[in-house]
Amino acid sequence: MSGASADADFAGRAQTAPDAVTDAAAELERLRAAIECIDRDIIALIAERVRIARGVGELKRAAGLPTLDPAREAVVVRRAGELARDAGLEDEDVRYIFWHLIGLSRRAQTGAA
């Protein structure tokens, strides 16, 4: 490559590098905004789950049923693990999250949340 050709090639790369950084920054911002929207949706779904769990707790108390149901909780967690695997996620991580969701639901059912 001649000196002039090399200079032109370098100048072309130098001009596109800032554009690439700008494009990457814009894409990063877009992806982060999408994640924030998903996070809001997740929180809304958790709040709905807790609201429904409160209703379940009220019905259990009215029917004289025990509030805690470890067998049902295990079924829910197993099902979440299966759904995670089907979605290509690590089932152990999702089961961990679901045990925390069940903790929220327990507290809601007993009136502690």
What is the CATH classification number for the domain harbouring 7?
1.20.59.10
**C-alpha–C-alpha distance, residues 45 and 75, integer Å:** 20
Structure tokens at 51: 């609201």
pTM of the full structure: 0.76
Tell me the per-residue pLDDT of 53-110, one tens digit each, with 9 for 90 and over.
Answer: 999 999 999 999 998 999 999 999 999 999 999 999 999 999 999 999 999 999 999 8
Domain that holds residue 25: 3-109
Residue 32 above 60 pLDDT?
Answer: yes
Confidence bin at 112 (pLDDT 50/70/90) = low
The structural domain count of the chain equals 1
